[in-house]
């Protein structure tokens, strides 16, 4: 069987959009996302992928392109499920100071 968390997430991605709810899942690897819900996510924000993941040819190509251009480690790809649309996304990095508990 599946964990209760997987059942809750599956209900959220299948039923909640009908009530105007959007779901965003954050994971370090696609392997951490339950296969049954992957088809419900038409858009992915991908950073450099883990070498331990089983990468498709499109993912491997995007990974190589990020490795060449992403010196600052702030670049991502915004892709659709079929890799038909690929948009480079550069996250804004806040340039502010923060206080520490000294």
Q: What one-character-per-residue DSSP string does 9-74 give?
A: HHHHHHHGGGGT-------S-GGGS-GGGGGG--EEEE-SPPTTS---HHHHHHHHHHHHH-SSS-
Structure tokens at 84: 């038909």
CA end-to-end distance (rounded Å), the chain: 48
Measure Cα distances from 56 to 15, 17, 38 in Å. 29, 28, 15
pLDDT at 1: 61
Largest CA distance in the chain: 50
Mean pLDDT in runs of 10 for the chain (102 residues)?
80 87 79 81 78 79 76 73 79 64 58
């Amino acid at each position: 069987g599946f964990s209760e968390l997987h059942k809750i997430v599956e209900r959220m991605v299948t039923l909640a959009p009908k009530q105007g709810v959007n779901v965003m899942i954050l994971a370090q690897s696609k392997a951490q996302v339950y296969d049954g819900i992957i088809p419900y996510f038409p858009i992915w924000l991908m950073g450099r992928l883990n070498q331990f993941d089983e990468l498709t040819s499109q993912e491997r190509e995007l990974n190589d392109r990020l490795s060449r251009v992403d010196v600052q480690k702030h670049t991502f790809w915004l892709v659709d499920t079929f890799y038909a649309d690929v948009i480079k996304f550069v996250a804004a990095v806040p340039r502010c100071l923060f206080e520490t508990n000294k």
